[in-house]
Amino acid sequence: MKSTEFLFELSPATLASYKKKAGAEASRLDKEAFSNVDDPKSQEKIAKANKRFSGIVKATKKEFDKSAPKEVDESLDEACWKGYHKEGNKKMFGKTYPNCVKNTNEEEQLDEKCWDTHKQVGMKSKGGKMVPNCVPKESAIMKGLQNESK
């Protein structure tokens, strides 16, 4: 019966040490097998060397699997603060965050809307910036009627 040994959670140093020792032994067995071709044990040495080389390949794959970056989508769908808008994503501390950039004056004006019960009638200056002049819909209608009657 053939037994299989699984290696789990080996450090990179342990894998490197195994690869070095197995490589040295495989090379030694290859040299012995091919230097004495008439030796009846040369086929056994070649088989053992091949087994060592396959172990080295497995250890190398395991080492690269551990060091390869993981494709984990840890993007956060967070909304930006008021006055900021999202322009792509940025990566900080191994996580992906939205890249929130402060709005310019034009963007701020576009973000500000009147309530459902109000209507925009031009723009006005408030706090040094231009904002929509929102008036109740009824009074806007009444002003329009008054202007027409004059």
CA-nearest of 98, 72, 76, 103 to 87 is 98
Decide: residue 29, CB within 10 A, 0-12 exposed, 13-18 middle, 19+ buried: buried
Helix residue spans in 81-136 (DSSP H): 105-111
By the 8 A CB rule, do 136 and 149 touch?
A: no
pLDDT score for 68: 62
pLDDT score for 7: 47
Helix residue spans in 74-126 (DSSP H): 105-111
Residues with Cβ within 8 Å of residue 43, at least 6 apart in sequence: 33
d(CA 13, CA 5): 19
Where do the structural domains in the chain lie, given as residue ranges? 12-67, 70-102, 113-149
Query: Which residues of the chain fall below pLDDT 70?
Result: 1-10, 66-77, 105-112, 139-150
By the 8 A CB rule, do 114 and 133 touch?
A: no
pLDDT score for 3: 57
Model pTM score: 0.36
pLDDT score for 107: 46
CA-nearest of 129, 86, 89, 87 to 108 is 129
pLDDT score for 147: 62
